[in-house]
Chains A and B, each alone.
Chain A
Amino acid sequence: MPRPGTISASPLTVAAFDVRAVREVRHGEGRVSRTPGDPLLEIDLDVVESLCSDEPALGSLRAHVVRPGDSVRIANVLDAVVPSVKADDPAATFPGVLGPADALCGTGRTDRLDGIAVLSTLDMGALIDPDDPIPASYVDMDGSGASLTPWGSTINLVLELVAAQGASLADVDAAARRTLLRAARDLASATAEDSDADTESVFALGEVAGELPVVVPILQFTAEGPGLTTYLRGAPVDLVSPCAVDPRALLDGALTAGAYDSPAARVSTGTIQRSRLLHRLLNEHGTALVCPGAVLTQGYLDDADDKRRMADGAAHIAAEELGADAAICTTYSLGNSHTDTMLTLRACEQLGVRAVGIVAEEGGLTDHVAEADALVSTGNVLERADGWTPASVIGETDHEAPAQVPVLHYLDAATQLGDGRLRGVTI
């Protein structure tokens, strides 16, 4: 397997095709289809529902299509994925989960659909810990909650999953992730015959001459077991020490989500694929700055020494291996991961790397150090959306949400990769 830190000279070309309408059919021609140049996608729901037929850990899959403005709440949302396929080798898509773990990722051509996402729902609560349920996870297609989550603005193919009786958390979770990513890959494959993308972006990370500032993103993820883990090429991001990676691989499906805690403050697969932070750094590489790579680091470490070592290690790689002048430190979810962010900010500044942190608030900051003098707030997750009652709910039979739902429960609403536009202000 290529070392994660290897930056290939080959470019990554992302060809994006707009989808503005979906026609769902059953007993159709058995595929997803899209006429070249037409932003209408036809989806055969029977085919989608057959995606879990060889997954014994899943009891059933019902497919739904919902659109922005529908009076629908999607509950128990696990993840959202942007339909994406490696055009030259579709079997290589989402390495380590679908494709081989060492498949090329971050280079070559990737086809993607814009305007549509695939979501999975599954009631994980009883499997993770019956005495300590995970927070409710919503995507609303209307009401004020719809504007809090990015997925309220996409047409969504929703995979409503049910675990098989007696299946373990690990098996159910792996099956759910595979099924979701399969659906996302298959949807994007509808563009196979279309050579005219609506937008085409080329990302190359060549050497840059001149005195541009070196800016490195230090991206924090987590690995606390099934249901609480992010995956890099299909393996938990359970790091002995932080590592440098090609940021293009992260946009291209190398990083997939499998953590179902705090919906607003975690990072869905789709958010990583669309990451505004990584896109901006890659787009401005060579003109306003140099982005030689990204650093992956791990939050929620239990041991105090491990927390310090990971923070110091991340800062060291940014400074020594990548030559960073500046770093942007992201956070994963809520709680003591914020301590990891603060320790990383401190470690960067102590090495002369100017650092900014991105954090969500729970009424205020969870943790702080003196060196954290430049923080971006992705919003206060305790604030509540206005009351709204959906006409129907997908993914939950006995739905009982509070009249005013806290921001906390909306997927990616305050994601600390920084893609949202919420910010906390003192009044």
Chain B
Amino acid sequence: MSPAAVRVVHYMNQFFAGLGAEEAAGHEPVRLEGPQGPGRGLTPLGLPVDVTLACGDDYFAEHEDPALATLLAWLEEEAPDVLVCGPAFNSGRYGYACGMLAREASRRGIPVVTAMFPENPGVIAAEGGAYVVPTTANVAGMKDALPVLAAIGVALAEGRDPGSPEEAGYLPRGIRRNEVVDRSGADRALDLVLAKLRGEAFETEVAPAFEVVPPASPVPDVSEALVALVSEAGCVPQGNPDHLVSRRAHAWLAYPIDGVASMSADAYETVHGGFDTTAGNADPNRLVPLDAVRRLETQGRIGRLHPTFYTTTGVDTPVASATRFGQEIAAELVNAGVQAVVLTGT
């Protein structure tokens, strides 16, 4: 099949598509003819782009379902042989959009290749649905990423296996698929435990994908520090004015707590769908310990409590979303000069 016969669609965000920078982050999805931005660099590498789809990063994050619906409908019309997403580098919202679109497109039979920093939550969001080329954290890695992206894209478009992760330069997909085996889990468990007992070699069927995050250096003296409260217990002001969902949160929220001495039951509630909220609603301080922190602030045990608290609901939350929330909240905290965080988990 000659390269000219393959049909290529490229997804990117508002910035790379030339629609504008941060001010255009709320841009609705658009469909553009031919390559845009970095897509122009793919043509000389053998992967000419036919159609570019672009969407604002904020728009995608805040309107995920309609954004995906629009983009997937266009993908169905365009019927590409391969979808290229990004490179998103370490932009969390951009990477997340790439990952989600990749996952959904691959479920519809469209091969996908994308590129981003390995710690971008978009890698997890893709759920193994895309070949992910690792990049640098910032755009300086563009010229290294494009050739790898193009080579895998060409292979996929031509219906070929790109090769192993080491050969082709992509991250191992780490997908857990199901296989049907001859013996039941119960039989395998009995064999496994007898092998363990006899001191024979044995192998576990599943192991954790451990996140190794080196501990942050200690804060030498918290009595001089700006401390923030963050929680996944689903705590919101009474009436849930911003409609935080009780499961599978797409967003985190921030609320001012300047001058608020306690998470009182008449002013706050929890909407978490993963546990019995009776105790938490009777006294939300049991979930977000504001009264205790205020006490310690008055006593001088902490320097000051950050005037904003951050909240979301942590049940059925896809790991990719939770990772993105953590990165975004952390970025805000760092910007605000916060030095220590107390996070409550349920």
- The answer to whether A binds B is yes
Residues of A within 8 A of B (CB): 131-132, 147, 213, 215, 275-277, 280-281, 288-289, 302, 325-328, 335, 354-356, 358-359, 361, 363-365, 368, 372-380, 382-384, 404, 407, 416-427
**CB nearest neighbor in A for B107:** A404
A230–B208 CA distance with the chains assembled, in angstroms: 29
Is the CB–CB distance between A356 and B209 below 8 Å? Answer: no
Is the CB–CB distance between A302 and B276 below 8 Å? Answer: yes
Is the CB–CB distance between A424 and B196 below 8 Å? Answer: no
Is the CB–CB distance between A427 and B206 below 8 Å? Answer: no
Q: Does B299 belong to the interface (CB within 8 Å)?
A: no
Which residues from chain B contact A380 at a C-beta distance below 8 Å?
176-178
A265–B322 CA distance with the chains assembled, in angstroms: 24
Which residues from chain A contact B210 at a C-beta distance below 8 Å?
368
Q: List 8 A-B contacts (CB under 8 A).
A: A281-B190, A358-B185, A363-B127, A363-B319, A384-B107, A425-B177, A426-B174, A427-B177
Is the CB–CB distance between A364 and B208 below 8 Å? Answer: yes
Given contacts A276-B184, A374-B202, A421-B184, contact A326 B197 (CB under 8 A): yes
Is the CB–CB distance between A426 and B176 below 8 Å? Answer: yes
User: Which of these, B182, B186, B188, B192, contacts A417 with CB under 8 Å?
Assistant: B186
Is the CB–CB distance between A213 and B194 below 8 Å? Answer: yes
Is the CB–CB distance between B204 and A375 below 8 Å? Answer: yes
A334–B83 CA distance with the chains assembled, in angstroms: 34
12 new A-B contacts at CB < 8 Å, known A277-B189, A335-B315, A423-B178: A132-B247, A215-B190, A281-B190, A325-B197, A361-B206, A374-B193, A378-B185, A383-B178, A422-B179, A425-B176, A426-B177, A427-B175
Binary CB contact string for chain B from 150 to 186 against chain A (1 if under 8 A, 0 otherwise) = 0000000000000000000000011111111111111
Within the complex, what minimum Cβ distance (angstroms) separates B198 from chain A? 8
- Which of B207, B273, B275 gathers the greatest number of chain A CB atoms within 10 Å? B207
Which residues from chain A contact B332 at a C-beta distance below 8 Å?
none
A131–B175 CA distance with the chains assembled, in angstroms: 32
Within the complex, what minimum Cβ distance (angstroms) separates B100 from chain A? 15
Within the complex, what minimum Cβ distance (angstroms) separates B227 from chain A? 24
Given contacts A326-B196, A354-B196, contact A424 B183 (CB under 8 A): no
Sorted nearest first, the 9 A-B pairs with minimum C-beta distance are A418-B185, A418-B186, A277-B186, A276-B186, A368-B208, A377-B206, A356-B193, A377-B205, A424-B176
Which residues from chain B contact A404 at a C-beta distance below 8 Å?
107
Q: Does B128 belong to the interface (CB within 8 Å)?
A: yes
Which residues from chain B contact A355 at a C-beta distance below 8 Å?
193, 196
Is the CB–CB distance between B246 and A365 below 8 Å? Answer: no
The number of A-B residue pairs with CB atoms under 8 Å apart is 145
Which residues from chain B contact A373 at a C-beta distance below 8 Å?
204
A404–B106 CA distance with the chains assembled, in angstroms: 13
A368–B211 CA distance with the chains assembled, in angstroms: 12
Is the CB–CB distance between B202 and A131 below 8 Å? Answer: no
A354–B127 CA distance with the chains assembled, in angstroms: 34
Is the CB–CB distance between B273 and A131 below 8 Å? Answer: yes
A276–B187 CA distance with the chains assembled, in angstroms: 7
Residues of B within 8 A of A (CB): 107, 127-128, 173-190, 192-194, 196-197, 202, 204-210, 246-247, 273-276, 315, 319
**CB nearest neighbor in B for A147:** B180
Is the CB–CB distance between A374 and B192 below 8 Å? Answer: yes
Is the CB–CB distance between B193 and A328 below 8 Å? Answer: yes
A147–B178 CA distance with the chains assembled, in angstroms: 13
Which residues from chain A contact B184 at a C-beta distance below 8 Å?
276, 418-421
Is the CB–CB distance between A376 and B127 below 8 Å? Answer: no
Which residues from chain A contact B193 at a C-beta distance below 8 Å?
215, 326-328, 354-356, 374
User: Which of these, B173, B178, B188, B276, contacts A424 with CB under 8 Å?
Assistant: B178
Which residues from chain B contact A361 at a C-beta distance below 8 Å?
176, 206
Majority-rule SS of B interface residues:
loop
Given contacts A326-B194, A380-B176, contact A365 B206 (CB under 8 A): yes
- Which of B175, B176, B209 gathers the greatest number of chain A CB atoms within 10 Å? B176
Is the CB–CB distance between B185 and A421 below 8 Å? Answer: yes
Is the CB–CB distance between A422 and B178 below 8 Å? Answer: yes
A252–B242 CA distance with the chains assembled, in angstroms: 52
A276–B190 CA distance with the chains assembled, in angstroms: 10
Given contacts A131-B246, A356-B196, A418-B188, contact A423 B276 (CB under 8 A): no
A419–B184 CA distance with the chains assembled, in angstroms: 5
**CB nearest neighbor in A for B185:** A418
A425–B203 CA distance with the chains assembled, in angstroms: 13
A363–B208 CA distance with the chains assembled, in angstroms: 11
Which residues from chain B contact A365 at a C-beta distance below 8 Å?
206-209
**CB nearest neighbor in B for A355:** B193
User: Which of these, B173, B175, B186, B274, contacts A280 with CB under 8 Å?
Assistant: B186
A207–B173 CA distance with the chains assembled, in angstroms: 51
Which residues from chain B contact A131 at a C-beta distance below 8 Å?
246, 273
A361–B193 CA distance with the chains assembled, in angstroms: 20
Within the complex, what minimum Cβ distance (angstroms) separates B28 from chain A? 25
User: Which of these, A132, A327, A376, A419, contacts B246 with CB under 8 Å?
Assistant: A132
Which residues from chain A contact B186 at a C-beta distance below 8 Å?
275-277, 280, 358, 417-419
A119–B124 CA distance with the chains assembled, in angstroms: 38
A420–B207 CA distance with the chains assembled, in angstroms: 20
- Which of B204, B210, B276 gathers the greatest number of chain A CB atoms within 10 Å? B204
Is the CB–CB distance between A427 and B128 below 8 Å? Answer: yes
Is the CB–CB distance between A280 and B187 below 8 Å? Answer: yes
A354–B191 CA distance with the chains assembled, in angstroms: 12
A288–B182 CA distance with the chains assembled, in angstroms: 21
Within the complex, what minimum Cβ distance (angstroms) separates A405 from chain B? 13
Within the complex, what minimum Cβ distance (angstroms) separates A97 from chain B? 25
Within the complex, what minimum Cβ distance (angstroms) separates B270 from chain A? 13
**CB nearest neighbor in B for A416:** B185
Which residues from chain B contact A280 at a C-beta distance below 8 Å?
186-187, 190
Is the CB–CB distance between A132 and B273 below 8 Å? Answer: yes
Within the complex, what minimum Cβ distance (angstroms) separates B259 from chain A? 32
Which residues from chain A contact B173 at a C-beta distance below 8 Å?
427
Given contacts A215-B193, A363-B127, contact A421 B182 (CB under 8 A): yes
A302–B190 CA distance with the chains assembled, in angstroms: 30
- Which of B193, B196, B246 gathers the greatest number of chain A CB atoms within 10 Å? B193
A383–B207 CA distance with the chains assembled, in angstroms: 18
Is the CB–CB distance between B205 and A363 below 8 Å? Answer: no
**CB nearest neighbor in B for A359:** B206
**CB nearest neighbor in B for A368:** B208
Given contacts A302-B275, A335-B274, A364-B208, contact A407 B178 (CB under 8 A): yes
Which residues from chain A contact B187 at a C-beta distance below 8 Å?
276, 280, 418
Given contacts A132-B273, A380-B176, contact A418 B208 (CB under 8 A): no
Which residues from chain A contact B196 at a C-beta distance below 8 Å?
326, 354-356, 374
Which residues from chain B contact A354 at a C-beta distance below 8 Å?
193, 196-197
Which residues from chain A contact B246 at a C-beta distance below 8 Å?
131-132
**CB nearest neighbor in A for B188:** A376
Is the CB–CB distance between A421 and B274 below 8 Å? Answer: no
A383–B196 CA distance with the chains assembled, in angstroms: 30
Which residues from chain A contact B274 at a C-beta distance below 8 Å?
335
